[in-house]
């Protein structure tokens, strides 16, 4: 009987107390990072989290203290959730964007963070990190500098103005997260979609009911990489392909005609195509040529191949420039989020 009681006690401890220990921590500080970004970055879902068995959002409170791994110093620091969100938002979205867009970004960043707290991955011993390619971009508010006008002549703000505006957006949305069926979503976002976002299933093969393709008008009006054309000589084009696929068989004379069997998603992004005797995905092509998106068009121009892309980023979830365009139309952050994330509701973790 005594052995049974000991066993039951151990099981209860694992179920109820270990998750609380993982989430809670102490007060903390921040770290230094260069303040030189122009365009927003895209959060990276390569370490997609499965939280199907995680308790509902109400189990945790908003006064969470996070353990964060600094990729530059290889050290760990701690920060309150809402303070951390402000540092993410100012790194991920230009402060000159409309306040409702900044609020939408605050909620998306908080949701993305909260989901990782509920179900930490194996990297960095389950901690968040300051690597934008793995978690989210991060900028210490103490090291924010003034911003200069962009090519459209807008965006000039003092450091104090930038910080105040971002803090307002975070404070006005304090504790709010995005949920689907009562669970926090994987709140992916990207810089600009090129007019239509992408279905998550087309990018990573996993269907998400709330990450469906939707239209995203108005992005081209901002200082964005909405459209980009890069020209490669046919020699360089083949050389780049051979660096990845040494077995490729294609000549410069037949290069353009050998680009065929292009299969596209509803949003216009390349899913698969063949070049010569090689079949590859749009994602692989984007990596090889370091282009902005997989919404790709090819054109032959004498001895060159021109690649034109629409959008910037993976295209899944909220378009940041699209959010700003909607905010300029008078849309509130709730409307913006419910447009880009299908069938969701907003909940408060406080």
Which of 8-22, 47-61, 90-104, 108-122 is predicted most confidently?
90-104
| Interacting residues of 232 by C-beta distance below 8 A, sequence separation 6+ | 240, 289, 304, 305, 306, 307
Among residues 136, 159, 150, 130, which one has the least CA distance to residue 324?
150
Question: What's the pLDDT score for residue 42?
Answer: 64
Q: What is the mean pLDDT of the chain?
A: 85
Average pLDDT, integer, range 78-96: 96
Question: What's the pLDDT score for residue 44?
Answer: 61
35 or 88: which carries more pLDDT confidence? 88
Average pLDDT, integer, range 345-350: 90
Question: What's the pLDDT score for residue 167?
Answer: 98
Query: 131 falls in which pLDDT band (50, 70, 90)?
Result: confident
What percentage of the chain exceeds 70 in pLDDT? Answer: 81
Which DSSP symbol is given to 141? Answer: G
Reading across the β-sheet that carries 176-180, which strands appear in turn?
183-184, 176-180, 345-348
119 or 179: which carries more pLDDT confidence? 179
Q: Is pLDDT at 123 greater than 80 in this prediction?
A: no
Task: Say how far apart CA 97 and CA 100 lie, in whole Å.
Answer: 8
Of 13-27, 55-69, 216-230, 278-292, give the lowest mean pLDDT range.
13-27
Which DSSP symbol is given to 325? Answer: H
29 or 334: which carries more pLDDT confidence? 334
Question: What's the pLDDT score for residue 192?
Answer: 97
b/e 242-253 (16+ beta carbons within 10 angstroms → b): eeebeebebeee
Task: Say how far apart CA 100 and CA 311 lie, in whole Å.
Answer: 22
Q: Is pLDDT at 269 greater than 50 in this prediction?
A: yes
Full DSSP string of 93-107: S-TTS-HHHHHHHHH
Q: Is pLDDT at 108 greater than 80 in this prediction?
A: yes
């Amino acid at each position: 009987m005594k052995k049974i009681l000991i066993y039951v006690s151990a099981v209860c401890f694992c179920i109820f107390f270990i998750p609380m220990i993982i989430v809670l921590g102490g007060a903390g500080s921040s770290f230094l990072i260069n303040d030189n970004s122009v365009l927003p970055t895209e959060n990276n879902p390569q370490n997609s989290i499965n939280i199907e068995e995680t308790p509902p959002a109400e189990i945790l409170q908003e006064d969470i203290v996070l353990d964060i791994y600094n990729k530059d110093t290889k050290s760990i620091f701690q920060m309150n959730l809402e303070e951390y969100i402000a540092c993410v938002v100012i790194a991920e979205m230009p402060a000159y964007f409309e306040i409702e867009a900044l609020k939408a970004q605050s909620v998306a960043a908080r949701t993305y963070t909260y989901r990782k707290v509920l179900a930490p991955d194996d990297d960095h011993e389950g901690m968040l990190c300051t690597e934008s390619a793995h978690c989210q971009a991060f900028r210490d508010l103490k090291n924010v500098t003034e911003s200069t006008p962009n090519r459209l002549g807008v965006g000039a703000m003092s450091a104090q103005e930038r910080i105040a505006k971002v803090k307002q957006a975070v404070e006005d949305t304090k504790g709010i997260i995005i949920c689907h069926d009562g669970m926090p979503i994987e709140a992916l976002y990207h810089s600009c979609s090129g007019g239509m976002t992408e279905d998550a299933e087309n990018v990573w093969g996993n269907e998400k009911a709330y990450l469906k393709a939707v239209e995203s008008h108005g992005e081209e009006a901002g200082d964005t990489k909405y459209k980009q054309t890069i020209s490669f000589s046919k020699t360089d084009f083949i050389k780049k392909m051979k660096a990845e696929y040494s077995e490729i068989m294609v000549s410069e004379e037949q290069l353009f005609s050998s680009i065929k069997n292009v299969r596209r998603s509803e949003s216009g992004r390349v899913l698969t195509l063949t070049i010569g005797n090689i079949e590859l995905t749009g994602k692989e092509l984007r990596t090889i040529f370091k282009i902005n998106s997989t919404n790709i068009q090819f054109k032959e121009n004498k001895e060159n191949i021109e690649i034109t892309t629409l959008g910037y980023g993976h295209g899944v979830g909220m378009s940041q420039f699209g959010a700003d365009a909607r905010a300029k139309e008078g849309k509130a952050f709730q409307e913006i989020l419910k447009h880009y994330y299908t069938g969701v509701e907003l909940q408060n973790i406080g």
